[in-house]
Amino acid sequence: MKSDSETPELHQRPRFINFPFDPNRLPFFYGTVVLVCGTLGVLASAPGQTVGVSVFTDFLIEAHHLSRSWISFAYFVGTIASAFLITRAGRWYDRFGGRWVSAGSAAMLAVVLTGMSFSVGIADVAASFLPQNYSTYASFVVLTLGFFAMRFFGQGMLTLSSRNMVLEWFEQRRGMALAFIGISVAFGFSITPPFFEWLIQRGGWSWAWQAIAAMVAAFAVIAVCLGRARPEDHNLTPDGPFAKENRKTHAETLSGRQFTLSEARRTYSFWVFTFSVGLSGLVLTAFSFHVVSIFGDGGMQRSQAVAIFVPAACVSVVVEFVGSWFSDFVKLKYLAMVQLVGILTLSLSLSFLQSGPTVYLVVLGMGLMQGMFGIISAATWPRFYGRKHLGAISGFSTSIVVAGTAVGPYLFSLAHDQFGTYRPATLLCAVLAIILLALSPRADRPH
């Protein structure tokens, strides 16, 4: 569906914006191609996500002769450092568009993964310039820098740019697009650990990272060829032929105002939604990182702990599919409340975990929390604040979420070390969820 008029800026754009073809000349709405491309981009970020990194943890401990606490601390420092840069990097998205930022992020992630595959050799070279007693610190620094780059380019920039690129092409049908991404990513991330493990068993952990790097690099080429930043760049409009004539059927249509990051941060709703997704990231990462220990404290076996993710993923897929459809018709604050109920349910069930009913509550809480996370963290910013500064706004929110994923495991570890139980940490998360629930009814779209 072509726009009513062509702007002068369109003719002034560089020729390579249509490389290798112009989407406007195709007989179908190109947003569907961007949807597939963006989904592949989020899936390509898996090596930089906790779900992908955790598979290599034990091998890094053995290869670098570091304790689990040292590896965990390197991961914590690297993740926190990446969070501080994501907001500024989000401005790259606003300047260059999702196509080039996602391609560049994927290319850099591939380079980092290749470097991590040689991390032992790099650490040995660095240690050769240091006194013998400092060789352990060389490994720590190398892994910290590697984790920083993996988290920044993977969980941060590649995820943000790929997802936002899709949101540029869909407005009234944004819920449908998010449902497609959410379901694909849920299934994709669920098979990531066994797939990475298969690669490791086939050729070793170093070779596995090199093979994964080649796959991520392949996506960088796909992003350059098929990705496109904004439909207006090609004289097209969001939703294309799927756009509804009566825009008022949407529960929260954009008023036309394009918020800057500083303006968005001065609104009440921005912080309610940001802290909601941040708390979700904190709880989910902490639980995933310590799941075996948490279930062990509840008198259950390792196999029971690992198996919890399968039914939770099934609940999450259903919740995300239904929630994404509803997001086109209801106010987002109601979906945020469902997410917070999930956090509260999960936190309380973990506080009093035993074999039996509380395990089912863990599955339900995780499903509600994970299912709504993808919707809230993606749909809120373009709907509430417009698309002009989408990268900066979503980047700032993402930085808080990434920081939460770093703080969560450490917070739970601290509670267990000090009190011999995770209960103080899980109850604190429950209290925070209740506070955000009380604040949510006023979290409407700013004007």
Q: What is the pLDDT of residues 366-384, one digit of tens each?
A: 999 988 998 898 889 999 9
335 Cβ contact partners less than 8 Å away, ≥ 6 residues apart: 323, 326, 327, 372, 375, 376
Name the segment(s) of the chain with CATH classification 1.20.1250.20. Answer: 29-239, 261-440
CB 416 within 8 A of CB 422: yes
| Confidence tier at 212 by pLDDT (50, 70, 90) | very high
pLDDT at residue 251, as a whole number: 52
Closest listed residue to residue 142, CA positions, set 126, 130, 160, 129 = 126
| Confidence tier at 57 by pLDDT (50, 70, 90) | confident
| Confidence tier at 252 by pLDDT (50, 70, 90) | low
Closest listed residue to residue 85, CA positions, set 24, 160, 139 = 160
The CA distance from 343 to 432, in Å, is 9
Residue 249 has pLDDT above 80, yes or no: no
Name the β-bridge partners of 236.
Answer: 2
CB 50 within 8 A of CB 405: yes
pLDDT in tens, 193-204: 888 989 999 999
419 Cβ contact partners less than 8 Å away, ≥ 6 residues apart: none
- Sort residue 355 into left (φ over 0), alpha (ψ -120 to 50) or beta: beta
The CA distance from 399 to 152, in Å, is 10
Residue 9 has pLDDT above 50, yes or no: no
Cis amide linkage into residue 20, ω under 30° from 0: yes
Residue 205 has pLDDT above 90, yes or no: yes
pLDDT at residue 10, as a whole number: 37
Residue 428 has pLDDT above 90, yes or no: yes
The residue-averaged pLDDT of 264-270 equals 95
* Class at the top of the CATH hierarchy for domain 261-440: mainly alpha
Residue 359 has pLDDT above 90, yes or no: yes
The CA distance from 106 to 441, in Å, is 39
Element housing 355 (H / E) = none
pLDDT in tens, 137-158: 999 999 999 999 999 999 889 9
The CA distance from 124 to 128, in Å, is 6
pLDDT at residue 116, as a whole number: 96
Residue 431 has pLDDT above 60, yes or no: yes
Name the β-bridge partners of 207.
Answer: none
Which string of DSSP letters, residue by residue, matches 288-300? HHTHHHHHHHTT-
The residue-averaged pLDDT of 47-75 equals 85
Distance between the two ends of the chain, CA-based, in angstroms? Answer: 28
pLDDT at residue 378, as a whole number: 84
pLDDT in tens, 301-327: 877 877 788 788 889 889 988 888 888
Structure tokens at 415: 């509670």
Residue 47 has pLDDT above 70, yes or no: yes
Closest listed residue to residue 368, CA positions, set 317, 326, 416, 329 = 317
The fold for domain 29-239 equals Growth Hormone; Chain: A; (1.20.1250)
CB 72 within 8 A of CB 413: yes
In whole angstroms, what separates CA 300 from the centre of its chain?
30
